[in-house]
Amino acid sequence: MTDQPFRIAFLLYPGVTQLDFTGPAETLARMPGAALSFVAGSDAPIASDCGLSVLPTATFDDDRAFDMICVPGGPGCTEAMEDAATLDWLRRQATEASYVTSVCTGSLVLAAAGLLRGYRAACHWAWTDKLALFGATPVRERVVIDRNRITAGGVTAGIDFGFRVIAERCGRDIAEAIQLGIEYAPEPLSGGTPDSARPEIRDLVTAAINQRLADRHAAIDRIAARFAAG
């Protein structure tokens, strides 16, 4: 580490899942030297999927390079996957960033930008397999590190992801000190992954996702076909 700030950018877009970026932001903000920005296409407030509005602190037009970029997921990810300005900004930043990262379906946005081709990557369990359509290798793990790509599973995995980044940069002692400071000691119900869930619960949730989000499946498949063609 150096005395220079470690500049971290979280991408914002309409329909983003707020915990996908606020979870890791709470951990990473405590990392020595961290300087966080929240970047969007304009400086207008961004409405998350739960109705919480967030005010960007930077835009794509700002002449600023970041050491780490992080793409959160959310219902708006398919629109982000087709937004030329978003994809261009990600590609530009990725050329200089030390870490190119994502949480949940944010990895699909990275993939649509061509930034996960040939990399192992994670995603929300319901969408992990879609990564293969963009040349990535899907991995069903909480956090996946492949060279300078660090990708996390769904939503709450973003907190674990934040600690992995801290451990990578600053070591285990600092990561665990921050963990203690924010009292991160989850005691979850069983069943937080498809493998650990009761079969009837897994089937119920999978059926609901497939029915409710059929349009998202179709949109991702359409974007992937265009990606493969060009």
Residues making up the chain, counted from first to last: 230
Distance of CA 195 to CAs 138, 161, 202, Å?
A: 16, 20, 9
C-alpha–C-alpha distance, residues 127 and 220, integer Å = 10
Q: Which of 50, 70, 77, 104 is catalytic?
A: 104
Closest CA to 188 of 149, 219, 159: 159
DSSP assignment letter at 189: P
Helix (H, G, I), strand (E, B) or coil at 99: strand
C-alpha–C-alpha distance, residues 154 and 104, integer Å = 4
End-to-end CA, the chain: 40
Angle at 126 between CA 207 and CA 218, to 5 degrees: 80
| Cα-Cα-Cα-Cα dihedral sign, residues 103, 105, 111, 116 | positive
| 70 annotated active-site | no
C-alpha–C-alpha distance, residues 93 and 73, integer Å = 18
Active site residues: 104
